[in-house]
Each structure stands twice: as structure tokens, then as C-alpha cells.
A and B are shown apart, each in its own frame.
Chain A
């Protein structure tokens, strides 16, 4: 069996449409984050891992709704209550209380709930307390980890490929991260520690996909006559040649992720959803963002060669080194 084995789609020709599409999606993404900043005071719905506070996860053996719990815990004064995956399972997020331990908060909430729903009908599955200091550190660390991994990747690609390949790959990855963050902001998905892991995985996956295409560009450039071929045609051919692999790998990765999404349980559901989104965007961006970016960089700034060579290239000469 074979798919896309002799594919000759004109991906690069359609890059303008991709720019418009990416631009619109990015606009929505950034808009969602700005809207959050205005409406809820922060770009994202940060969980206790980042803001500090206490989180308690309760499972009920009897049917209970979030509204009922809210009633019991003080109506409008009640802390945020979210259903967590399963039926009758909820997380309750209480604001930070530095002077009381998480046990005190947990027991207080347990007592209130038990008095209403009956002792023995509920089970505290998880209790977390994060001080504001630890949470703040984590935000910094996460941002630093992403920037730092970009930096190292850029250096690696500059050495193994050329600087412009590195820059194009980073552009595509930033594009993917912004869209992912926008999606998280749009649906106000709670940002917890695993979410950061998911975002970093997307960085890895997106780079992986881009590198496979760039690897083929590098190889085709190195072939006899490669430097004389029209750069657009060369990049487009490279994308087509790697298309079967792109489709198959994305497909199998998505298959695994979907089985995680449907069978993996509530604890990693958000995590998996972010990854699925990341794989789709990562695949899209390696074709429609990274590759065009590589061409654009070269057309705008070249690679440092003299002007007359640039003129020659405009006539369709080659991607010079």
C-alpha cells in the first residue's frame, strides 16, 4: 500500500492563502489572550501550580451537580468548582491561605460537604497546596525553559543546517506555540504543570516535523544541480517527497493521542487535547509556515552574498549558500 508516493501538490504556490489563514488564527489567538487579560486579569487561566492556592478533588458516590456543591460551600462566595472528567467528580479551588495548611482547608470543605451529602458518600482524591512564591517561580521557569530551548535549537540548526533554516524553524514553532496558547486562552483551559510539558512537547514535535522537511531540502540542495534549481520548486519538491512520511507519522501519532484522549482518563485529558492540537498545527506549519518562511528569509535578506548574485537569483537561479 502506498499513499502520496508520487505527490506533486503545489504547496508553496498556495502560501499566500496559508499566510492569510495563519494570520487570522493568530489574530484570534492573541485576541483571546488579550480578552482574558481584560476579563479575568491574566492571559491564561492559570491553575494553582502557577498562582498558588489550594486545590481539592472530590469524588461523590451519589449524583451531585456543581451547583449543589456551590450552594453548600457558600453560594456566590464559594470557591471555583469545576467538574473533573468523570460524573460526580469535582475540583474545588480555594484561594491561598498561608496560615492554614491544606489539610485544614480540606477538612473544612469535607466537613461542609459531608454535612450535606452524607459522610461516606464522598472521597477526597487529591489535595494540593502551592504557595504564591513557588507558583511565581514556576511561571518564570516555564517561560525560561521555552526560550532557552529555542536558543539551543537555533544554535544546533545553525550548525547542522544554515542559520536561515534555524530561524525559519523557530518562526514556525513560535507560530505553533502562539496558536496553542490562544486555544488554551479561548477555552480557558486551566494551565497546570502537565500543560507546560505539553507545550514543550509541541515545540519538540513541530521542530521534528520541520526538520524532516528541511533535511530533504538540504539533501536536494546538495545534489548535483541542486543550487541551480528554482528555490521554490526545490522546496516544494522536498515537501512532496516527504509527504508520505509526514502523513503516516502524524496519523500514527494522532491515533495514539486519540486513544489517550478517549481511554486515558481525566487526569491527562487536557494534556492530550493540547498535544493533539499541537500535532495538527505542527504538521501544518512545517509545510505552510516553515518552508515558505525559509524562502521569504532568503528572498528578503539573502544569505549575505553580493548584489549581482542576488539579481541572478531573482531570475530564478538558485538558493546560494
Chain B
């Protein structure tokens, strides 16, 4: 088939048709730098190194599946989600507009738990132990430095517990001075005051944690003023405090702030440590608007096993409170009025319905098994991308026209043959990109244009060689044959070494560099074919009408 000119032409036509076919059916995918979008690299968030490498790889593998489901439901066209190495997840969302929302969707753990609320009396006896543990862990002086609330010999809590509705006002006045003292740059006068107070409080009477707690607005709830939340969270994160808590009890924060009078508080719930049910038994979740309170809610349904357990548990705990915990935050803690079947709802307060939709989506897709951390993030606006494409195409066309012009002026008829070969080359490269589903990036365009240079070089090598043979006064046909065969070794060696470099780039490069390597590799293969097969065929066609001694235009 390759022996006759006709066979060669048919081969070229078939390959051209395949290239054009791929080009028009698949199209060429544009990289994020060209069409805009978001690129993320995520890893398991594990600064303390608590996971083993295998565990991290396992979490990433699960995350890949879950995030893929989430993104598919969210509806992004042609997302790329893949693991790189074993511990990193790459996500590319072309054309995405709302980056924050997409990120929230991807990063959210969506770990849903149902826990029983326990009365505050169950931690009451542990509170002095917790305070002592904090003082022991942080040192009495640093506690004194935190302000008076911590030191006030616990006149606070006991009285507060009996003050009922007035809770909000009393701590107000007691605390006005505290918050000032707690801030980092107290006025000199206040500091002196705080100093004197400090010396009076014996170490055993310091109440760093208990001092922050106010009586709650329901069973199993303490209220912590907004400005104290950070300190309280810090205390609760201490190893020593966790050990001081009763074994089966967990203290967890409410998601929404509560306003009381002029002040804002966060709820701290006393919960059973172990969840009796988690989100993995969820079957469906839908966002809705609760008409009664006009708030966004997510209705969920449990699978059969989950439903049975839910029904059993709630049946046994009628009158108790049930906390719905999402990613460690208590969304709500309603009272169990009756045995509940296989469905329930999560209240989102006055958040927009969109947020409820996203939450329903991530709940359906399932929870991440470990929190993820963003290692790399790139967002490109669409205007920048379009601009780059336009300019890249213009520059490419101008460059090609220049090259073709030089070839035509310098090699005349042979230059025209080279132009034919280069046209085949361009179709092959573009078709190859489409067939391999490769992404065209800005460096990719540069790689493309550069490989045009290589394709031209191959033709130049051949033509120069033919000229040399003609100068040596060989017959035309012999000169052409010799020209091709002598140029072959240089073309092979030059292309193969470049291919080696391109493949290494592909192996070790990321993102745009990879795009460059792909176009360069495809370009080299196409230039090989175009110079050695297409140019040759066209030459044979050109020579077919001539006698062996007729001059040729080169």
C-alpha cells in the first residue's frame, strides 16, 4: 500500500479524515488558563501527622469518589477530578463562576451525627476538675492574665442558674470590665485594677472555664458570650480538659448564635459522646423552605436499617432532646415528642435556600472521611482566558504565514509541497489533541508553534540535502531519494531527543507544563509523519510526470 503513490495518497487521506473526524466530534478542550475556571489541589488536613501514609491515601481515594458525586450533582461541565501520587487530589472546574460556593461544596466534610442531649447536671461535678486541669496546663499566671471572669470565685454560675430569664442582663454588668481587661491592650488604669485583683485570687479559686459559662436556654445547654467563645474553644481543645470530662460526655458548640438582650451568645451543648446514628445511613436529602418559620431546612430520609435504629432509639427516649450534629456543630436539638420514623429535618435558620440545597447535595453524596486542606488554588477569569486565546491564535497564524512565506520564496515548488505537508501536520496535531482528549493551555499553544518549527526543520533538512545531491550532479530522482534517506538519521535523532525531553516533562510536570509536553509530543510525532511520509509522497507525485533528468524547482 505504501509502495504506490495512489496507496500513499489513500493512507494520507484516511489519516486526514480521522484527524478531522476527531477534531469535529471531540473538539479541543481548552485549559483553565484559556477559558477560565478553578484549579484546586487538596490534601488530607493533618498538620500533626496523626494519620499513616496508607490512611491518608485511603481518605484521598474515598474523597475522590465523594467529591466526584458532589460535583456531578452540582453540574459542572467536564470537571477533572484525579489523584496525583497517592496523597493529593486535583480538581479542575472549567468555567466555574461561583468559586466560593464550589469550594464549600468540595471541602465540606458533611459528617452528620445524631446524639442524645444530656442534662448539664451530668458535667456539673466535673467542672471544678476541668478548671483545675486548665490552671495546671496553662499556669495560674496566664489564667489571671485572661481577665477577671476567670478568677471571680464562682459566685457566677450558682447564682446564674437560679436567675432564669434574667440570665442575659446580670452577666452583662459583671462582664463589662472583663471584656475590657481581656482585650490585648487595656487602658493603664484598668490594667492596674486587674493586677491588684490578680494578687488576691488564690490559685485554687481560679475558674477559667466555669467563669465563661452562663445558664442555657434549654436542657443540656450552656451559653457562652460571643467574645468568650475563642477562649472557651481553646480550653476545650486541651488534652487535659478532654481527660477531665466524664468519659461518655462531649461538649459541642451550636452552629447559630443566639441573641439575648443586647448580647450575642453561642450555645455549648452537653451531649452523649457516641452518636447513635450517623449520616452514612442517609438515603436522601432535599432542601425545602419551612413555611411556618420561613427558614431554610433540609429534609432527609434514612435507609431501612437507619430508620429502624432511629425509630427504636427515639421510641425509647421520648421526652429527651436529640441533637443533630453536622461537622461537629449542633444544628438543632429538638425534643423527642414521639417515636420518629425514617425521616427528619435539619434547620438552617435564616440562611438562603441555596445553602440548604448545597447541604442536601453534600449529604446525599456522603461525608468525607477526613478534612481536606487546599494546597494549591488557581482561578482564572474568563476575560483573561479569551484574550489569551485570541492573541495566541493571531500570533500563531502570523507566525505560520511568515514560515510559509520563507519556504515558498526559498524553495519554490518544493516549498509548496512542504506547505501541503504542514497542512496535514496541523490537522494531525489538532486531531491528535482531540483524540487524546488533551487540554490546550497557553504554554500548549507555544509548544504547538514550536513543534511547527520542528516540522519545518525536518523539511529544511530534506530539501537542503536534495540540493546538495543535485549540486553533486546526481539525477533528479536519485537526488530526491538520497536526500530523504540521508536526512533521515538527523531527523530521527533530533526528534527522538526532543521527544525524550517532552515525555520527561509530561511525567514530572503539572498543569500547564503538562499541556506543553502533550502538544509537543503530539507535534513531534505528527512532524515525523508529515515530513517523512507526506512530503515524500507529494514529491513522488511531483516527480511522476517528469523524466529522471528533468530539473526540479527546489
A-side residues, CB < 8 A to B, are 1-2, 5, 57, 59, 101-103, 123-131, 133-134, 138, 141-142, 144-145, 148-149, 152-153, 156-157, 160, 193-194, 196-197, 200-201, 203-205, 207-208, 211-212, 215-216, 218-219, 241-242, 244-245, 248-249, 251-253, 255-257, 259-260, 262-265, 267-268, 271-272, 275
- B153 in the interface (beta carbon within 8 A): no
> Contact: A2 with B406, CB < 8 Å?
no
Q: Enumerate the 5 nearest inter-chain pairs by beta-carbon distance, A residue then B residue, closest first.
A: A265-B391, A256-B399, A215-B490, A264-B395, A263-B395
Give 1 or 0 for each of B404-424: 1 = CB within 8 Å of chain A CB.
001101100000000000000
A259 CA to B400 CA in the complex, in Å?
A: 9
> Contact: B453 with A145, CB < 8 Å?
no
A205 CA to B500 CA in the complex, in Å?
A: 12
B-side residues, CB < 8 A to A, are 33, 41, 99-100, 103, 374-381, 383-384, 387-388, 391-392, 394-396, 398-400, 402-403, 406-407, 409-410, 442-443, 445-447, 449-450, 452-454, 456-457, 460-461, 464, 467-468, 471, 486, 489-490, 493-494, 496-498, 500-502, 504-505, 507-513, 516-517, 520
Most A Cβ at <10 Å: residue of B100, B442, B450, B471 = B450
A156-B497, A208-B497, A260-B395 known; A193-B379 Cβ under 8 A: no
> Contact: A253 with B508, CB < 8 Å?
no
A residues near B33, Cβ cutoff 8 Å? 267
A residues near B516, Cβ cutoff 8 Å? 194, 197, 201
20 sample A-B contacts, Cβ–Cβ < 8 Å, listed by A number: A126-B380, A126-B381, A127-B377, A129-B376, A129-B377, A149-B504, A193-B443, A200-B505, A201-B447, A207-B501, A208-B454, A244-B467, A248-B464, A256-B399, A256-B453, A257-B449, A259-B402, A260-B396, A263-B394, A267-B384
Nearest residue (CB) in A for B486 is A219
A residues near B376, Cβ cutoff 8 Å? 129-131, 134
> Contact: B513 with A197, CB < 8 Å?
yes
Most B Cβ at <10 Å: residue of A133, A257, A264 = A264
Contact of A126 among B375, B384, B489, B502 (CB under 8 A): B384
User: How far in angstroms is the closest Cβ of chain B from A164?
Assistant: 16
B residues near A123, Cβ cutoff 8 Å? 381, 383
A260 CA to B443 CA in the complex, in Å?
A: 11
A245-B464, A267-B442 known; A197-B509 Cβ under 8 A: yes
A138 CA to B377 CA in the complex, in Å?
A: 15
Nearest residue (CB) in B for A260 is B395
A93 CA to B467 CA in the complex, in Å?
A: 55
A200-B505, A263-B395 known; A193-B381 Cβ under 8 A: no
> Contact: A260 with B449, CB < 8 Å?
yes
Nearest residue (CB) in B for A152 is B500
A1 CA to B512 CA in the complex, in Å?
A: 41
A residues near B454, Cβ cutoff 8 Å? 208
> Contact: A127 with B378, CB < 8 Å?
yes
> Contact: B501 with A204, CB < 8 Å?
yes
A251 CA to B409 CA in the complex, in Å?
A: 14
B residues near A241, Cβ cutoff 8 Å? 468
User: How far in angstroms is the closest Cβ of chain B from A19?
Assistant: 25
> Contact: A256 with B452, CB < 8 Å?
yes
A129 CA to B383 CA in the complex, in Å?
A: 20
> Contact: B511 with A193, CB < 8 Å?
yes
B residues near A203, Cβ cutoff 8 Å? 501
B residues near A196, Cβ cutoff 8 Å? 509, 513
A57 CA to B388 CA in the complex, in Å?
A: 14
Additional 11 contacts, C-beta under 8 A, given A57-B384, A211-B490, A242-B464: A2-B467, A101-B374, A128-B377, A145-B509, A197-B513, A197-B516, A204-B497, A204-B501, A241-B468, A264-B394, A264-B446
A residues near B468, Cβ cutoff 8 Å? 241
> Contact: B457 with A249, CB < 8 Å?
yes
Main secondary structure of the interface of B (DSSP, over half): helix
A2 CA to B466 CA in the complex, in Å?
A: 13
B residues near A207, Cβ cutoff 8 Å? 494, 497-498, 501
Contact of B100 among A103, A260, A271 (CB under 8 A): A103
B residues near A138, Cβ cutoff 8 Å? 510
> Contact: A268 with B443, CB < 8 Å?
yes
Most B Cβ at <10 Å: residue of A196, A256, A262 = A256
> Contact: A152 with B504, CB < 8 Å?
yes
> Contact: A248 with B395, CB < 8 Å?
no
A208-B457, A255-B406 known; A156-B500 Cβ under 8 A: yes
> Contact: B388 with A255, CB < 8 Å?
no
User: How far in angstroms is the closest Cβ of chain A from B487?
Assistant: 9
A residues near B500, Cβ cutoff 8 Å? 149, 152-153, 156
Nearest residue (CB) in A for B403 is A252
> Contact: A265 with B450, CB < 8 Å?
no
User: How far in angstroms is the closest Cβ of chain B from A289?
Assistant: 17
Most B Cβ at <10 Å: residue of A101, A129, A130, A197 = A197
> Contact: B446 with A193, CB < 8 Å?
no
Most B Cβ at <10 Å: residue of A5, A57, A257, A260 = A260
> Contact: A264 with B504, CB < 8 Å?
no
Nearest residue (CB) in A for B34 is A267
> Contact: B409 with A1, CB < 8 Å?
yes
User: How far in angstroms is the closest Cβ of chain A from B88?
Assistant: 8
Nearest residue (CB) in A for B85 is A137
A residues near B493, Cβ cutoff 8 Å? 156-157, 160, 211, 215
Contact of A1 among B41, B378, B410 (CB under 8 A): B410
A residues near B511, Cβ cutoff 8 Å? 193
User: How far in angstroms is the closest Cβ of chain A from B379?
Assistant: 5
B residues near A144, Cβ cutoff 8 Å? 508
A141-B508, A211-B494 known; A256-B378 Cβ under 8 A: no
> Contact: B453 with A249, CB < 8 Å?
yes
User: How far in angstroms is the closest Cβ of chain B from A99?
Assistant: 10
B residues near A125, Cβ cutoff 8 Å? 380-381, 383-384
User: How far in angstroms is the closest Cβ of chain B from A145?
Assistant: 4
> Contact: A194 with B513, CB < 8 Å?
yes
> Contact: A102 with B377, CB < 8 Å?
yes
B residues near A133, Cβ cutoff 8 Å? 375
> Contact: A255 with B399, CB < 8 Å?
yes
> Contact: A245 with B498, CB < 8 Å?
no
User: How far in angstroms is the closest Cβ of chain B from A151?
Assistant: 10
Nearest residue (CB) in B for A89 is B384
> Contact: B381 with A255, CB < 8 Å?
no
